[in-house]
Amino acid sequence: MNERVVACGAGFAGDRTEPAVALAASGRVHAVALECLAERTLVPGLRARRSDPQAGADPRLRRRLRPLLPVARANGCRVISNLGAANPRAAGLQIARLAGACGCSGLRVAAVLGDDVMALAAQVEWQEPFSGELLGAHAYLGADALREAVVEGADVIVTGRVADSALFSAELLPILLDEADALAGATTVGHLLECSGQVTGGNFEMPDGDSLSAREFAELGFPLARVFADGSAEIGLLDGASGRVDALTCTLQLLYEVHDPGSYITPDVILDFTGVKFEQIGRNLVRMSGARARGRPRKLKVSGFVEQPGFVADVEIGYAGTHALQRGRIAADALRLRLDDWQPEDLRIDLVGVDSTLGPASLPAPNRAPEVRVHVSARCADAEMAQIVEDEVYSLTLSGPAGGGSVRSERRPSLAVVDGLIPRELVRTETVWEQAP
């Protein structure tokens, strides 16, 4: 067979669960991939694993897979996911046990290890110096790391940190022509699918304001791709699914998180998107072709997570009604004056709904804004400084402009993400197998 169908069942950790089940139940899909891992979701796993060696997988693993595994197995659909987060070995065992409890006895689970390069941290070429304790270091693995699990017929493949696109392109490795451009096409397919609804009409609006309806967004279908041996593909939706797939939505996703379309670096291949073409061949059906390879990187990207001394204080206070914007601005200025003597690091004060996103480039605010929230964030050297920032915001409820309230505060440990590179030959991967009882 020289074609295969892959689909996206999740594009981030908290994504909807129903689309994955619908895709698996369709009988059309060979593999559904759940892309659920980002820096912000890997860090809690690292902290959990530090306390418990069996912890560290995505805490939503059971809720996400419980309804999916029986349907996927009944329809011959493989499940591939980075739900392993900081502990794919433990996740593999959890999935096997869950499958047994769901009536999927004998289901084979492959856990792909090797992204954890903490032991090799001294050999990572960090892009900038850092201070603090290195909590973890994880390399971005490519599709090759999943090849054994695919070829050996795993029902579920669970990983830690791999390139998002590799969750999809790994399923395609057995059918691709032995040429770099075919792999480039398959990797481009993964890139197009990896953010679930973002290629099917989510996060999309025409300049005239036209977009999907509330009902269509609420029931948005997730994408699938019929992929051919040369890496070309047809991107679409299940029949009857809500959404919009066309050249515009595909282009939106193609350029997502891409700095140079002519040289987009992944672990498997350096992609050249400049020749990619999208052709509408049916309703919500687009043919993709033209991806090209520009070699393969000699080094893999590594993300390091550094715990730094101190905390981040994050506080808000709201104002509503007559002169809300004026009172919010006065409150923000008063806070700057109050905190000037304390000089917490990286102090930022914004008016949510006015200038918190675009800053000085924001459009002029309406004079009659019905409500505004003053948002304060600061990096603080210690808990005492964080408390001072929080207290100054709370004090505005009595000693600030009229009507301040609905204060929300959060204090979290200070953490930095640092990037580096490691020679790919130093990163060794391993596949560990489990079977549902």
Place of tokens 């009536």: 103
Residue 24 — very low, low, confident or very high, per pLDDT cuts 50/70/90?
very high
Region at 310 (left for phi over 0; alpha for psi -120 to 50; beta for the rest): left
Which pair of structure tokens corresponds to residue 41?
């979701």
Answer whether residue 424 shows pLDDT above 90.
yes
CA 150 to chain CA centroid, nearest Å = 23
Answer whether residue 94 shows pLDDT above 80.
yes
Domain ranges of the chain: 3-115+140-296+428-435, 304-419
Q: What is the DSSP string of 65-98?
A: HTTHHHHHHHTT-EEEE-TTTT-HHHHHHHHHHH
CA distances, 42 to each of 16, 109, 421 (Å): 19, 21, 19
Mean pLDDT of 76-88: 99
Which of 358, 349, 345 is CA-nearest to residue 328? 349
Q: Give the tens place of pLDDT for each residue, 108-163.
A: 999 999 999 999 999 999 999 998 899 999 999 999 999 999 999 999 999 999 99
CA distances, 308 to each of 134, 139, 161, 411 (Å): 9, 21, 23, 14
304-419 CATH choice from 3.40.50.2300, 3.40.190.10, 3.30.70.100, 3.40.50.150: 3.30.70.100
The pLDDT score that the predictor gives to residue 86 is 98
Specify the pairing of strand 3-10 against strand 31-34. parallel
Window from 80-84, 342-346, 413-417 with minimum mean pLDDT:
342-346
CB 374 within 8 A of CB 325: no
* Other CB atoms within 10 A of residue 40 CB: 11
Backbone angles phi, psi at 60, to 5 degrees: -90, 5
CB 220 within 8 A of CB 242: yes
Q: Is 335 exposed, middle or buried (0-12, 13-18, 19+ CB in 10 A)?
A: buried
Residue type, 151: V
CB 231 within 8 A of CB 188: yes
Mean pLDDT of 231-237: 99
Residue 359 — very low, low, confident or very high, per pLDDT cuts 50/70/90?
confident
The pLDDT score that the predictor gives to residue 180 is 97
Residue 227 — very low, low, confident or very high, per pLDDT cuts 50/70/90?
very high
What angle (nearest 5°) sits at the alpha carbon of residue 159, between those of residues 157 and 160? 170
Helix (H, G, I), strand (E, B) or coil at 221: coil
CB 111 within 8 A of CB 432: yes
* Other CB atoms within 10 A of residue 256 CB: 14
The pLDDT score that the predictor gives to residue 322 is 92
Answer whether residue 1 shows pLDDT above 70.
no
Answer whether residue 358 shows pLDDT above 90.
no
Mean pLDDT of 221-232: 98
Which pair of structure tokens corresponds to residue 331?
């409150």
Window from 173-177, 184-188, 210-214 with minimum mean pLDDT:
210-214
The pLDDT score that the predictor gives to residue 365 is 72
Mean pLDDT of 33-62: 96
Contacts of 43 (CB under 8 A, 6+ apart): 135, 136, 305, 415
Specify the pairing of strand 233-236 against strand 264-265. unpaired
Average pLDDT, the chain: 96
Helix (H, G, I), strand (E, B) or coil at 364: coil
Q: Higher confidence at residue 355 or residue 393?
A: 393
Answer whether residue 354 shows pLDDT above 70.
yes
Mean pLDDT of 295-308: 97
Mean pLDDT of 182-196: 99
Residue 93 — very low, low, confident or very high, per pLDDT cuts 50/70/90?
very high
Q: How far apart are CA 179 and CA 297, in angstroms?
A: 16
Residue 347 — very low, low, confident or very high, per pLDDT cuts 50/70/90?
very high
Which pair of structure tokens corresponds to residue 132?
């603090």
Answer whether residue 291 shows pLDDT above 70.
yes
Which pair of structure tokens corresponds to residue 228?
């051919």
Q: What is the DSSP string of 272-317?
A: E-TT-EEEEEETTEEEEE--EE----SEEEEEEEEEEEEEEEEEEE
